[in-house]
Structure 1
Amino acid sequence: MSKTLDVLEAAAHGTPAGFVDGCKSRGGCPNYLDREVLTCFLAHRAYAHYYLLREQGPEVPITRAMLRQAKRRS
C-alpha cells in the first residue's frame, strides 16, 4: 500500500489530531462533502481559532453544529 493510503487509514478523521497525523488534503479527507462532520483541515483550523473547541481536546471530532455554537459564543 502507498504511504498516503496508510496515513489516511490511520488518521482519526474530522479531528485536529487527524490533520496532525497527516490528513492535510481538503478534498482527500473521507469527510469531504459530509454534512455533519468537518474535514481534518477545517477541524484543525476551527480548533486553532475557537477556545470552546480547544477545551474538548484534539481527538474529538468537530461537527458543523459545534462550530456554529463556538462562533456564536466568541
Structure 2
Amino acid sequence: MKKTAFLLVALSLSWAALAQHNAKEVQADIARHRAMAEAHEEAAKCLESGKKPEQCAKALQTACKGLALGKYCGMKHVH
C-alpha cells in the first residue's frame, strides 16, 4: 500500500513539473527525444549489420552525448 501511495505522489509531482514547462522548453524536449530515437535507430541498424555490440554501444554513446543521462542514452538493458 505504501508503494502505491508513493507511486501516486511521484506521478502527480512529475505531471506538475511537466505542466510548468513553457512551449519553448516542450519543443526542446521533443527535439531531444527525436534525436535520442534516431541515435537508438542507428544503434539497432549497427547491430543488424553484424557489428560487435561494443562497437555499436560506443557509437550510441557518441551520438547521444549531451542528449540523455547515463552512458546508454536514457536506456539500459537487462543484459
Give the TM bin, normalised by the shorter chain.
under 0.3
TM-score, length basis structure 2? 0.23
Greater C-alpha Rg:
2
> Given the two structures, how large is their TM-score scaled by the length of structure 1?
0.23
Q: Kindly indicate whether structure 1 or structure 2 has the higher relative contact order, using CA contacts under 8 Å at least 6 residues apart.
A: 1
More helix by share: 2
